[in-house]
């Protein structure tokens, strides 16, 4: 069977609070000589200074799905635009969706989970959030949208680092990590980031859940994984990771990681997970997991956005590979003890 995933057009969602530098990054992507053609869905036509007949203005219409779940929203305009763009398949390599500064990325992501036609032709590649190093700490205090965008991100471009001192930068990074320790973080000035670091990430590709997140392996306790330095090669405090970094606990947005080396009972785990996202889905922004089920020689992987989950057997466990189950939740006011207890009850004894 042909690899259908690779034929689907990758879609990058570009978010970021007002003034963080989204348009700068977008202009870079469009003007750089990379030999690729991008279709771009923007909310403000005029801001892009590049002539391209594949720039489409969007109205950012968020629609509720009629399936009885209140937080299940999609971008109706995106369904229509992607449908129209598919008529020009072959004329572009990838799609970038720029959201407004105040947008919640969830409806965009959910559009790719619920719409059959969208799923057939396109795949969500990653949510890229541009953050302003100078102002993000303040926005995290007063703008829930900014916090959402950080929590949701697969890639964070921490921009305007030239406008802050080293301690200020450490402060804002610690605040980001308190919310989302899993995203790839890149420090930039004027969004000077290698495009390979923001595009074609495969962050929603079940097969790449581990590949792209080495820190996922070391997650351990949910609040203690801010030792992110190893994967973007900065030259300070390598192995003794706690040195110098402040350790924040964001009051309402956290991540929670769970692990066990005992097999999970699929007949208990699946109903538990489905029930958890059905009840707490509004609080859970993102979820991911790699699971080892009892009497199952294959790894099972899943990911979710709010109440929506997708999962599949990925591959056989390798010889000698530890059969561990690992889960991560990022969300708002996560009921930590309830989740931990529920997870424990799914472990086979």
Partner 1 sequence: MKKFDPGEAGSIISVTDKVRPVAIGMPVTSVHFLGDHAAFVGAEESVAMVSGQGEISRVSVHGGGILCAASDGSRIVMGGDDGKLAALDAKGEVTLISTDAKRRWIDNVALHPDGAVAWSAGKTAFVRSGRAEEKSFDVPSTVGGLAFAPKGLRLAVAHYNGVTLWFPNMVATAEVLEWAGSHLGVVFSPDNKFLVTAMHEPALHGWRLADNRHMRMTGYPGRVRSMSWSVGGKALATSGADAVIMWPFASKDGPMGKEPAMLAPLQARVSAVACHPKQDILAAGYSDGTILMVRLHDGAEILVRKNGSEPVSALAWNAKGTLLAFAAEDGDAGLLPL
Q: Which residues bind partner 1 (CB under 8 A)?
A: 53, 56-57, 59, 61, 63-67, 74, 76-77, 79-81, 84-85, 87-89, 91, 115-117
Nearer to partner 1, 121 or 294 (CB): 121
Q: In what order do the strands lie in the sheet with 253-260?
A: 253-260, 325-332, 284-291, 298-305, 308-316
Give which of 70, 52, 160 is closest to 107, Cα–Cα: 70
In a 3-state reduction of DSSP, which class is residue 189? coil
Please, are residues 258 and 287 in contact by the beta-carbon 8 Å criterion?
Answer: no
Min separation Cβ 92 and partner 1, Å: 11
Nearer to partner 1, 64 or 224 (CB): 64
Min separation Cβ 335 and partner 1, Å: 30
Min separation Cβ 304 and partner 1, Å: 20
Please, are residues 228 and 244 in contact by the beta-carbon 8 Å criterion?
Answer: no
Q: How far apart are CA 27 and CA 15, in angstroms?
A: 14
Q: Which residues of 310-330 are buried (b: 16+ CB within 10 A; e: fewer)?
A: ebeebeeeeeeeebbbbbbbb
Min separation Cβ 80 and partner 1, Å: 6
Nearer to partner 1, 85 or 270 (CB): 85
Min separation Cβ 196 and partner 1, Å: 29
Nearer to partner 1, 77 or 250 (CB): 77
Q: What's the DSSP call for residue 99?
A: P
Min separation Cβ 72 and partner 1, Å: 11
The token pair at 175 is 């605040």
Please, are residues 284 and 256 in contact by the beta-carbon 8 Å criterion?
Answer: no
Nearer to partner 1, 57 or 271 (CB): 57
Min separation Cβ 82 and partner 1, Å: 12
Min separation Cβ 279 and partner 1, Å: 23
Q: DSSP letters along 206-237, please?
A: GGGTTTT-HHHHT--STT-----GGGTT-SSS
Which residues make beta-bridge pairs with 293? 264
Q: Rounding to the nearest 10 degrees, give the CA dihedral for residues 93, 76, 302, 196.
A: 30
Q: How far apart are CA 93 and CA 96, in angstroms?
A: 10
Nearer to partner 1, 115 or 205 (CB): 115
Nearer to partner 1, 18 or 65 (CB): 65
Nearer to partner 1, 113 or 182 (CB): 113
């Amino acid at each position: 069977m042909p690899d259908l995933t690779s034929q689907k057009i990758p879609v990058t969602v570009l978010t970021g609070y007002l003034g963080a530098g989204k348009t700068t990054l977008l202009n870079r992507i469009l003007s750089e000589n990379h030999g690729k053609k991008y279709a771009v869905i923007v909310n403000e036509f005029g801001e892009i200074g590049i002539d391209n007949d594949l720039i489409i203005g969007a109205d950012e219409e968020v629609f509720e799905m009629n399936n009885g779940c209140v937080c299940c929203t999609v971008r109706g305009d995106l369904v229509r635009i992607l449908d129209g763009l598919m008529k020009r398949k072959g004329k572009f390599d990838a799609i970038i969706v720029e959201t407004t500064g105040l947008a919640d990325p969830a409806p965009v992501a959910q559009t790719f989970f619920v719409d059959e036609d969208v799923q057939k032709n396109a795949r969500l590649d990653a949510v890229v959030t541009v953050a302003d190093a100078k102002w993000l700490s303040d926005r995290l205090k007063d703008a829930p949208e900014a916090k959402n965008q950080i929590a949701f991100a697969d890639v964070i471009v921490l921009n305007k680092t030239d406008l802050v001192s080293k301690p200020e930068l450490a402060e804002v990074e610690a605040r980001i990590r308190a919310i989302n320790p899993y995203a790839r973080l890149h420090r930039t000035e004027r969004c000077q980031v290698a495009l390979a670091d923001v595009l074609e990430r495969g962050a929603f590709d079940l097969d790449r859940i581990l590949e792209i997140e080495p820190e996922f392996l070391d997650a351990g306790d949910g609040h203690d994984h801010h030792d992110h330095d190893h994967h973007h090669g900065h030259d300070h405090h390598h192995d003794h990771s706690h040195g110098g970094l402040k350790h924040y606990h964001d009051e309402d947005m956290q991540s929670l990681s769970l692990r066990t080396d005992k097999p999970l009972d699929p007949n208990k785990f699946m109903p538990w997970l489905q029930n958890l996202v059905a009840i707490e889905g509004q609080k859970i922004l993102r979820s991911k997991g790699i699971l080892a089920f009892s009497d199952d020689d294959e790894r099972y992987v899943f990911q979710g956005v709010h109440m929506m989950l997708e999962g599949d057997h990925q591959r056989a466990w390798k010889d000698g590979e530890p059969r561990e189950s690992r889960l991560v939740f990022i969300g708002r006011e996560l009921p930590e003890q309830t989740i931990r207890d529920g997870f424990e009850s799914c472990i086979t004894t």
